[in-house]
Structure 1
Amino acid sequence: MGRRDDARWAARARPPAGTAHDTRWAGDRRGAVRCAVALLAALQLLDLAAGTAAPARSVLWAALALLLFAVLCPPRVTAGRGWLAARGLLREHRVRTDRLVSVRCVDGVSQRLVLRDAFGGRVELDPATLVANPPLWYRLAEDTRLSVASGSLTRGGAALGRLAERVDRETARAVFEVSGLD
């Protein structure tokens, strides 16, 4: 134990060189933890104020808070040359971005981008993650060009075009805000 073990753990936790990752992930995870803790505290305080506190109810409230955390915790998105991965609480989904066969944008309560590769891999992520992290978008865009050139990407060009326009628009807006030209 000590520094040597800490250094080994830190080396394993660091993404490989040339890997892009979601820079907002840690803050979003902290937000999910705060919401879960706030719910647990509020439920416990209500139970104490009502005089109905019991160990079984405390376990139930803790389970409810854990469920809220599981729903709110965002996947950790990383991308490297030829791959993109989204790691959730229980497992990681990975797709070969240089062998994509389809890209779909699914609208609904929350917009999702679904990527499928030739090997059966499937990743579903929020397009806002790519918009907020230009290095992730750059990795995906570069590898998508390879998929188009090889002829494997047959569906999804329009969805990627709309996403590219959105990334460009948001990046330009950020540059103008930083430079004071907004």
Structure 2
Amino acid sequence: MAGSGVVANDQDWRQEWWSAVRCAGVLLALLLLVDWGSGRGALWRTALWCAISGLLFAVLYPARISAGTDWLAARRLGRERRVRTDLLISVRCLDGISPRLLLRDALGGHVEIDPEVLARNPRLWHLLDEGARKAAASGVLLCGETALRRLSSRLDRETALGVFRASGLE
């Protein structure tokens, strides 16, 4: 991938991963406990409960976001998607139950991430913004400058509020 400089990672990924493990483990324990309490435990039911808990873990498994000079990657179970941030052609904010940021590059790559990851990890945001500015300056970014400006304003506002809270000036 382009550039060999600094690499930033989502600092909260491990905590989110443990949350997914705990949720799946608690569900499995509860299902097995109910089965045991009812006296209807069977090997096939235990396998079913394990499969349901595994499915819950797969759904809750957080994307591991990392970024470097001119690239951003999201790694999920079994696959990784990357975009070249200096070749971004589209940035879209997808609203809904869970807001998402959809990034597409000129090479056909696309990544969908939670904007909160950028809010919690300023270094990731800086690397993404730096690459997007290069794409805009070179005329490659066709759609999304407004979305990036809105996201930048939001992140700046949240950072300022955090500084005020930390210093007691809230």
- TM-score, normalized by the shorter chain, greater than 0.5: yes
Q: Distance in 2 between matches of 1:117 and 1:30?
A: 32
Alpha-carbon shift at residue 30 of structure 1 (Å): 0.4
Alpha-carbon shift at residue 158 of structure 1 (Å): 1.1
Alpha-carbon shift at residue 17 of structure 1 (Å): 6.1
Higher relative contact order (CA 8 A, sep 6+): 2
Corresponding position of 2:78: 90
Alpha-carbon shift at residue 132 of structure 1 (Å): 1.1
Cα RMSD of the aligned pairs, angstroms, is 1.0
Equivalent residues of 2:27, 2:53 under 8 A apart: yes
The reply to whether residue 111 of structure 1 matches residue 99 of structure 2 is: yes
Gaps of 5+ in 2: none
Corresponding position of 2:9: 21
Give the count of matched residue pairs: 167
Moved over 6 A (4+): none
Alpha-carbon shift at residue 170 of structure 1 (Å): 1.0
Identity level (%): 54
Gaps of 5+ in 1: 1-15
Corresponding position of 2:147: 159
Corresponding position of 2:166: 178
Q: Distance in 1 between matches of 2:62 and 2:102?
A: 16
Q: Distance in 1 between matches of 2:67 and 2:125?
A: 9
Q: Distance in 1 between matches of 2:64 and 2:7?
A: 13
Corresponding position of 1:76: 64
Q: Deviations over 1:69-95 (max 9, x none)?
A: 111111000000000000001100000
Which letter does structure 2 place at the counterpart of 1:102? S
